[in-house]
Structure 1
Amino acid sequence: MAEFSISVVQDEFSCSVCLDLLKNPVTIPCGHSFCMVCINKCWDEEDQKKIYSCPHCRHTFTSRPVVSKNTMLAEVVEKLKKTRLQAAPPDHSSADPEDVECDFCTGRKHKAVQSCLVCLASFCEAHLQPHYQSPAFKKHKLVKASRRLQEQICSQHDKLLEVYCRTDQQCICMLCMLDDHKAHYTVSLAAEISEKQKQVVETQRKYKERIQQREKELQELTEAVENHKRSAQTAVKDSEKIFTEMILSIESIRSEVRQMIRDQEKAAVSRAEERLKRLKQEITELKRRDADLEKLSFTEDHIHFLQVTNTKFILDCLHHLLKEVQIILPPEPKSREDFLQYSCQLTLHPNTAHKLLLLSERNTVVTRSKTVQPYPDHPDRFDEWPQVLCRESLLKQRSHSPVYEQFVWQFGRCSARPDGRCSYTQLLMNSAELRQWEDFTAF
């Protein structure tokens, strides 16, 4: 009874905003009391509307009332707090929104610890004591506190659902067995729960097996994706390396071609300048002779004129003129020594070498090997005949002759001989014909 009285008094001194005992209580003009912080917070939110209202009775004020602490009410609240602390059991706790509230608590609801299936109510520790102490409650069935008590009671007979009808797949009470479910297949609720639990365990086992299988598939798929990524990365690196080598090779060839063009340009300009010099000299000489003939044509010494202009003199002059402008060509090379003066060192291309050929000395020497060399795969590599290609190079210019200017190295193909030595064929081209010359050893 003391606890009930305290609860009633506490409700009278509770703030209608925070629902707790008043803290620094203030009384507004309509007569209701609130915590000073609570009423100021409410009116702060209404400042924009300039209309203030009582949170309890909704009475409005055109101007914001000035509030001050109600000293007498504050003393009463402090005494009430002390009385509540002395009377209330130390283990009583207020119910949180997610907890089940005690159906017998008035005012502040405490957390329910158990529910009674006979009383169809939930009780806190204090209000549950009669079920432990009074013989009248000995047969009441207590369960864990639940908000779903009505679902455990038969809506037709208001009795506890204790039986499960497997025919209709529903829970029934004892009276239902005698009426609508008289001839049905029924078992106790505990037996059905036990059977359902076995089914749940079996279903969980199957789910776990499927989860393990899916996790294994997921891991395998993840590994496959990683392998694909690594393979793609390796392919990208290899392709970058190949293209880099190709670019460097093209740059080298471009540099060689540029140099060849510059050399040819220099040689051509030099020859042209030499010829221009000769032509200027010839023109000077011809002008001098023309001047002499011009003087001779106006001479009055007829005897001298006839002596100078005889046929032999004219023919000799013309012959001398043609002889001076004739281009003397050197003889074409015929022997090995003649060709060697136009030769140059060839470099063997490692990407074309057969895997039974061994390159050494900066790719200038090749020998036949009995073991397969670890060359990387390349589309230009020989795989049938033991051969290797040479890098294309230009013949060094040794003469200003127009004939020899057209000699170039066209192609060098090296073949390994049975004795391990290497030979290659030189193909030379001049302005008249394409000739294939004899093989000669490189070393």
Structure 2
Amino acid sequence: MACANTSWSEENFSCSICLDVFSSPVTTACGHNFCRTCITKFWDEQVQYKCPVCNEIFHTRPDLRVNTFLSELAAQIRTTVRVKEQPCVEPGDIPCDVCTGTQQKAVKSCLVCIISYCQTHLEPHQKVAGLKKHRLVEPMDRLEDRMCKKHDRLLELFCQTEQVCVCLLCTVTDHKSHPVVPLKEEYEVKMAQLGKRGAEVPQMIQERKQKIKEIKDTVELSNKDADREIAQGGQVFTALIGCVEKGRDEFNQTVQEKLKSTVKRAEDLIKELEQEIEDLTNRSAKVKRLSHTEDHLHFLQACRSLKDPPPTRDWTTVEVRPPSYVGALRRSLDQLEETLNMEMKKPDDGELKRVQQYEVDVILDPDTAYPKLILSEDWKQVHDGGLRKRLPYNPKRFTKCISVLTRQSFSSGRFYFEVQIKDKAKWWLGVARESIDRKGLTEWTRQTGHWTLCYRNNALMFFDNPDYSLFFPVRAKLQKVGVLVDYDEGLVSFYDVETRVHIYSATGCTFTEPLYPFVGPCDHQDGRNSAPLIISPVNQTD
């Protein structure tokens, strides 16, 4: 930007009333100049029309006209003043600290004077012997911030111990023995680290966007699952309500029929009793009349005509008992229970498919396997070999229970795996916490850190605690069992994969340690239980 330079004085073109550069200047008869607005306002407030400068009185109010020449000069002066007030420094330049009025661009900064100089004011540092010794650098802003507050020296080193900028004197005082490097060297290191972090940030942002998408997809899936469950549940409850209403109607009908039968029998008995009473009453009246006759002939003839008394029932053993309705209610409730069980056992293909999406790939850990167990080369199968192997001591190994854990453990979220149990006469399956007792014979309950389903004697069992076990009848031969664990919700569920039927869910579980899938093939029982347990891949098209 070019700097304005003029010999005009701003004071020579100023109104003596407002003291500012003329605006629409006018000239009085006495030769003095004023802004048109200023002199007009001045005369409006006076009794006499006079000049504010020389006090010359005008008998009539002067007719004022704009001084065109003076107006043009005033306009140039106003432009010059605006230019003069603007510094001659481009954006991003360091201004000279010495310039007054129009600031010039600094060409050097003195680290001794702590001042930035333009070319004109720098001349003494280039000519005066004492100033020539001062250290000049490229122009810098905020020079005071670049100086050590304690030693008043330039901060040109970096202390790697305390991660601060220091001066040369700091390295022999407060930062003695600390590793220090030039600012440029540390700058390059930090810039490289910053570049690396800068390259990582987009990936971190992308990962978080992906996580947001996953969460939104989960919410959307949850909404769809909830709608489907509500619809299916509504159908089940509608069927149950219909069953309950039907059972209620049948129960009421049974009660009414029993009541009707009882009432009818009572009415028949009453009718029969009333008939006997009527017959006996008539006979009694005849006997009474005959007992009052004194005519021998008539009496004997009348006695002959009296028939023998009608036969009567022995009423001492006859009674009417209120009907019992307990049996009818019990039968209705049993039928309702059976219907409910049938609804609960209906296969839900959609539920198992939703569960199977949490499949994890796990392998068995030979370091935990009971010494008699034999694992396949891919560590997916295990069975009892019958012979106890001599193995080195391992704190992770089971020494009393014929079991094995997987290498993988889980501490959050959901996970699901399937195990083939075909042709097995006995087995254990589920999950166990990391700190379970592996050297003794412990009850496998949730209190000891086991959430497992057991099969033996043609029945399924879940040991909730030492004093309480749940038994489940096996309707068909199991081929494969699926295990779902929701760590955060405290849930362990078991499924019959082939029939796609839910077997049992342990709810309200408390997990505070990593959980390991737990597989127990049990002893081979002279070959009757020699089939292996196999960790199988999930096939949702089964």
Report TM bin, short chain: 0.3 to 0.5
Determine which structure has the larger helix proportion and give its number: 1
Higher relative contact order, chain-length normalized (CA < 8 Å, sep 6+):
2
| Bigger Rg over Cα | 1
Structure with more strand by fraction:
2
Give the TM-score, by structure 1 length.
0.39
State TM-score, norm by structure 2.
Answer: 0.33
